[in-house]
Structure 1
Amino acid sequence: MDQYILAFLKNSSIKNFQHLANDFMPHYSTLISKVGGILSPETLSNIQKDLQEGKLNDAVDKIQESLAAAENCILEVAVIGESGTGKSSFINALRGVSSEEEGAANTGVVETTMEKTPYQHPKYPKVTFWDLPGTGTPNFLPDTYLETVGFTSYDFFIIISSSRFSFNDALLAQKIKEEGKKFYFVRTKVDNDLYNEEVTKPKSFKRERVLQQIRDNCLANLSNIGVPEPCIFLVSNFNLDNFDFPILQETLLKDLPAHKRHIFALLLPTFSDASIEIKRDFLKEKIWLDAVKSASLAFVPFMPIIYGFDLPEQEKCLKVYRKHFGLDDMSIEEIAEKLGTSIQGIKTYIKSLDFWQLVKDDSIAAKARSCAECCCSVNGGAISAVFQLLKVYFLHLKFLDTVANDAKILLHKTLKRAGDVAQR
């Protein structure tokens, strides 16, 4: 089991709160993702102070408040661009839907966004992507643009172009900066540019050189129109694992407030092993924080019975993890169709669809543990806490690792299938 949680149980039972406080921060810093964690620096500092003062319940309350804030946060993302820039396709890619699916953002070569249009994420309804027209249209003039679109409600702005960024884009970026909001320049359709360059100049074509030219042109363009040292992200809406999208993903996560990182990390498509690992890291952090919380609650008599992790809760937990990694029932059907196989065929090489196989344990030892757990839960205390953690902590990790590994297997099979089709 996690060494800190073992120490947490031991030090809590003997009331050695100074050790609890000293160990908490260093351990948490090794646990979180490279893009940050769920707990803000202020919350971490307050938790450590509570532990030093022996206020275990207060520390647990702060952990619970942070977890609730992460679960219930609202995220509003503004995506701005002229017609034909790939703005709607970018939104669809982030939402994990194709342009032909019901509820997809409208795409086309003519102007399809004449007013601000919200698109909820299909799996995370508290996350909304706003498709906003480019500045300069009759209803969205540069001087009044932010007021017209209601800029205060958005967490950050993504300004999109498929060629050159305009003076209006630069003016808008300056106004967003003055209002204390974050903005990011995204250059789309990079794959189209590479294809056209390779077709027209097959002998001299060099992929990295063309990408650098695109980047340099965007930088020079924005610098010339008044944006000093702009940060440009080159993306393809149809191949998110290519170009700068992984860097954009990490940048957005680092810049978001701590309680909003969690939901944004979970909604991003699992387009690479790295994106799967980021999700796994965030969920591991949550499991660890839940374990610390459960360890404290289990000292109280009957608490494990009231807030127990029974079979229905365990199955619900597994389904939640599957949803986060795009392995829910509907997604599995879509993946099976892409791979040209049946759901039964998919079951032959992934494990997270079989809940009972993951939790089944008919051994005498398991039955004895269950009886002992019930008895200890009545009285509470350190032994009760150990039993709860053995069940909850390890089972959560088992579910998470199984689902994440399955997601990688399906990702590689889908990429291989796409590669085989492209070669035909």
Structure 2
Amino acid sequence: MDALKKEYQDWMDSSDVWHETDENKFEGSTADNIDDKIKVLEGVLKDKGIEGVKQELSSDLDKWKNTDLHIAVTGSSGAGKSAFINAIRDVCADDEGGAEVGVTETTMELTPYKHPKNPNFIVWDMPGVGTPKYPKDKYLTCVKFDRYDFFMILSKSRFTEEDLWLAKQIQERKKRFYFVRTNIDIDIYNDSRAHPKSHSAQDVMGKVRQDCHTNLDAADIEAPLVFLIDNHDKLKYEFGQLELQLLQDSDSLKMEAIALSLSVLTSEVLQKKKDVLEKRIAEKAMEIACVWDDVDRQKQLFEDEILTYKEQFNIDDKTLSANKDVLSLTDANLKEFKKFFKDLSKDTVSQLSKKSASLSGRSGSFIRILRQSLLGYQLIIFQLGEGFRSHSQPVLQFSCFALHQNLGEMYKMALKVYDLNAQKSFVKSIYKP
């Protein structure tokens, strides 16, 4: 026990382990978070015993689901607010809860739209600045400005005086905001017709971006972030970069809530989902280890986490089948995926004991974090007595490796599906009528 405590403390004190790296610039804070969790669990164990530890682990793993997240979407009539609100929630106007999309102004009231996978993730359709019900001098109070975590200011051409006024109010109050230039696909298409010999999509995007910055610089907007998007094809242009910026600008808990709620699987979002899910592995393995006397429950917890991976990457059987046309998947592809999932499920916790020995020979920031997590959780297990320890310690280790292996394989499969989808999106753009 003393040796284990010393090894754990050595990890925490090691300056060359927790320095900032390109691979994970938040690695140091991750170490602090793990240490905090271990201290909390030690206190829970002392006060409430193993049942308290189980409840604490389960609650912590689901904390992201109870995190409030509010995104405000504003812009002039016809800017594409409703289409954007649907796009970021991965719904369409015909779906239940979809925002109405029309050619006329449809937003007269402040309207919330809940994310279908996370009711605490709410996207707000904001009424225009300066209307009779929302006069400029009372606008921030009327829309309850302090409620929002992020602001999206949309335009299909140049940003208006009202847009720029709101941006300055947001900027003065140190909130995050982004300028979103919609309809970039239409600009590119129109240019291709007008200049069939000299057309360049990149040149068009460059000109549009420069025009946006000229517009914003003239209004003294500091370091504006501008994203060029097509609300109806999220895999093209900069929708993925916008989502990535949202994730990067969030604190750890809100970042987890955003990453695990987003259904738009751009390569950027896939990577962030993988990062977030990796950080859950050791804690989930500890939850599995804590039910050492119930093998069926262990198996269920393990399989539930695997299902979470499938659903997060949109590669569960139901989603693949429902979207096979969109994803360009054949029936043969679907059979391949199903066999892939079946093969993965054979790697149960107990069958991975031999593979777990490979940990000591591996490197990388995630492996370092995983080692440190295991040491910390083993400190808890050692306090539970020999009988509990003899059953739980190997389960903790094996579960970590089983989950890590499955997550890695599913991420690769998701990238494959994403590539198929991106290829189809590219082909559609070439033959756009």
Structure 2 residue corresponding to 1:348, chosen from 332, 336, 340: 336
TM-score by length of 2: 0.77
Q: Which runs of 5+ in 1 are unaligned?
A: 1-9, 367-375
2:421 counterpart residue number: 414
Of residues 10, 17, 22, the one that matches 2:13 is: 22
- Determine if the alignment matches structure 1 residue 57 to structure 2 residue 42: yes
In 2 relative to 1, CA 32–70 (structure 1 residues): closer, same or farther, beyond 3 Å? farther
Q: Which of 126, 138, 143 is equivalent to 1:144?
A: 138
1:129 to 115, 123, 126: 123
* SS class of match (1:125): strand
- 3-state SS of paired residue (2:243): helix
Counterpart selection for 1:390 from 380, 394, 397: 397
SS of the residue aligned with 1:216?
Answer: helix
TM-score (norm 1): 0.78
Structure-2 residue corresponding to 1:162: 156
Deviations 1:103-149 (A, max 9, x none): 21111210111111111111122211111122233322222222111
Question: Which secondary structure state, in structure 1, belongs to the residue aligned with residue 292 of structure 2?
Answer: helix
Residue by residue over 1:357-410, the C-alpha shift from the partner in whole angstroms, topping out at 9 and shown as x without a partner, is 4346998999xxxxxxxxx99835765454122332122223322332222222
Measure the CA separation in 2 of the matches of 1:234 and 1:422.
16
- 2:233 match: secondary structure: coil
Matched, 1:320 2:292: no
Please give the per-residue CA displacement for 1:243-281, whole angstroms capped at 9, x wherever unaligned. 333332232212111111112122334543343222111
CA contact (8 A) 1:70 1:260 kept: yes
The aligned runs of 1:91-240 (5 Å cut-off) are 91-240=85-234
Paired residue for 2:72? 78
Structure 2: runs of 5+ lacking an equivalent: 46-52, 355-381
Counterpart of 2:369 in structure 1 is none
1:88 and 1:107 in contact (8 A); partners too: yes
More displaced stretch, 339-348 vs 232-241: 339-348
Partner of 2:259: 265
Do the aligned partners of 1:76 and 1:154 also contact (CA within 8 Å) in 2?
yes
Distance in 2 (CA, whole Å) between partners of 1:31 and 1:283 is: 19
Alpha-carbon distance in 1 for matches of 2:78, 2:69: 26
Q: In the alignment, is residue 279 of structure 1 matched against residue 267 of structure 2?
A: no
Q: Per-residue CA shift, 1:299-321, capped at 9, x if unaligned?
A: xxx76337986222222212212
1:255 pairs with 2:246: no
Conserved 8 A contact 2:352-2:398: no
- Supply the distance in 2 between the matched residues of 1:254 and 1:423 (Cα, whole angstroms): 32
Equivalent residues of 2:317, 2:338 under 8 A apart: no
Of 305-314 and 172-181, more deviation after overlay is shown by: 305-314
Q: Deviations over 1:57-93 (max 9, x none)?
A: 25998x9586554343121111111221111111111
Q: What SS does the corresponding residue of 2:126 show, helix, strand or coil?
A: strand
Instruction: State the distance in 1 between where 2:85 and 2:16 align.
Output: 37
Equivalent of residue 408 in structure 2, options 384, 387, 401: 401
Once residues 413 and 93 of structure 2 are traced to their aligned partners in structure 1, the CA distance between those partners, rounded to angstroms, is 26
- Kindly tell me: are residues 50 and 259 of structure 1, through their superposed partners in 2, closer, same or farther at Cα, counting changes over 3 Å? closer
Q: Secondary structure at the match of 1:126?
A: strand
Contact 1:347–1:353 (CA under 8 A) maintained in structure 2:
no
Structure 2 distance, partners of 1:204, 1:166, is: 31
Question: CA 1:183–1:337 in structure 2 vs 1: closer, same or farther (change >3 Å)?
Answer: same
Counterpart of 1:72, as a letter, is: N
Distance verdict in 2 for CA 1:32–1:12, change over 3 Å: farther
Matching residue's letter, 1:120:
K
In 2 relative to 1, CA 410–379 (structure 1 residues): closer, same or farther, beyond 3 Å?
A: same
Match of 1:186, SS state, is strand
1:97 deviates by 1.6
Question: Which amino acid in structure 2 is aligned with residue 324 of structure 1?
Answer: Q
The root-mean-square deviation of aligned C-alpha atoms, in Å, is 3.8
Name the CA distance, whole Å, in 2 between partners of 1:243 and 1:419: 11
Q: Is the 2:85–2:123 Cα contact (8 Å) retained in structure 1?
A: yes
Further displaced range: 139-148 or 106-115: 139-148
Letter in 2 for 1:26: V
Q: Determine the C-alpha separation between the residues in 2 that align with 1:172 and 1:241.
A: 29
Contact 1:77 1:156 in 2 (8 A): yes
SS where residue 393 of structure 1 aligns? helix
C-alpha distance in 2 between matches for 1:24 and 1:58:
27
Counterparts of 1:232 and 1:343, CA distance in 2: 41
Structure 2 Cα separation of the partners of residues 48 and 422 of structure 1: 50
- How far the C-alpha of 1:339 sits from its partner, in A, is 5.0
Identity of aligned residues (%): 30
1:352 and 1:399 in contact (8 A); partners too: no
Q: Secondary structure at the match of 1:119?
A: strand
Q: Among residues 81, 85, 89, which one is paired with 1:87 in the alignment?
A: 81
Render the CA deviation track for 1:219-253: whole Å, top value 9, x for unaligned: 11122234233221222212323333333223221
Q: By how many angstroms is 1:25 displaced?
A: 8.7
